[in-house]
Amino acid sequence: MLTSGCSELQARRHARAGNGHYQDGDYAAAVREYEAADERYPGLFVVALNKGLACRQMMMPGSKAPEQEHAVDCALKSFQRMKEIKPEDPRGDQLYVQTLFDADRFDTLDAMYQEQLKAKPNDLAAINGLISVNSRADRWSRALEWSMKRADVETKDSEDQYAVGVMIFNRLFQKGGADKGGYLPWPDPNADPKAPPKVPPPWTVGDVVGNERVRLPELGISYLNRALAIRPDYREAIAYMILLYRQKAYAFLEQPEQWQACIDESDKWKAKVTAAATAAPGPT
C-alpha cells in the first residue's frame, strides 16, 4: 500500500508537470510527462484525458504526415483508455468520435456505426452518424441512402422527409442546375429565320444529366409528398416541390413539350402557395 501510494504521488507530480507544459503550449513535453505518470501509476482518468487533449493539439488538419498519424493514434488510444477507466463518463466516447472525424478517418467511423446498426438496425444515432460521415467524406450517394433510411424509419417526422428533398435539390442545383433557369426551349417566333438555332446552356463534367436528372427530382418529390401528407401546410416543402420540378425540367432542354410539362407542375405548386397566402387571415 505504501509503495502504491508513493507511485500515485509520483504520477501526480508528473501529471502536474505535464499540465504546466500544456499551458505553455509545449504539447510534446506534456505528453511525455503524462506517459511518465501512467507508467508510475496506470489508470488515472485525468492523465488519460489530458494526454488525449495534448495529442489532439498536435494534430494538423488535412495532413497525412507520419507525425499527424502518430498524434491521432495517441489521442485515440488515450480516449479509448478513458472509456475503459470510467465508462459512465460520456467525454471518453465523445472525444474519441470527434477525433476520428477531425482526422478524416471516415472508414473507421463508417465501420463503427455499421456495427452499431447490426445490434440495433433502426438506431437513429448510428444512422445520423453515417449521414455525417458520408457527407464529410463527399460520398453523396451514400449520404442520400442514409438520409432516406432515416426518413423511412421516422415515417411520421415531416422534417426527415423534407430533408431528403432539400438534399436532392442542393445536389441538382450545384451539379448543373444553377444556370439553366433563363433558357426557354421553345423556338422564338420573332427570330430571324436565318439565325442559327437556339443552343441550350452547356453541361460540364460532373453535372447531373440524362436519366439521373429525371430520377433524382422524382425521388425528392416523392419524399416531399410524404412530408406534405404528414403536414399539409408545410410551406417550405411546397417551395422545394416548385424548385425540384424546375430542376427536372432541365433534363428536357431539347424537348420543349416535356420541359413545359415540368414547368406547368411547378407553376401548379406555386399557385397553391399564392392561394394559401391569399386565404390566410390578416392582422386584426
For the chain, what are the domain ranges? 1-104, 154-188+201-279
Contact 134, 143 (CB under 8 A): yes
**Exposed e or buried b for every residue in 112-128, given b needs 16+ CB within 10 A?**
bbeebbeeeeebeebbe
Contact 151, 135 (CB under 8 A): no
Identity of residue 207: D
pTM over 0.75: yes
**132-169, pLDDT tens digit by residue?**
999 999 999 999 999 999 999 999 999 999 999 999 99
Looking at residue 281, its pLDDT comes to 62
CATH fold of 1-104: 1.25.40
Residue 125: its H or E element: helix 124-136
Q: What is the largest CA-CA distance in the chain?
A: 103
Instruction: Give the chain's residues under pLDDT 50.
Output: 1-2
List all residues 6 or more positions away from 240 whose beta carbon is below 8 Å from its beta carbon: 162, 165, 166, 169, 220, 224
**Could you say which DSSP state residue 219 is in?**
H
Looking at residue 194, its pLDDT comes to 74
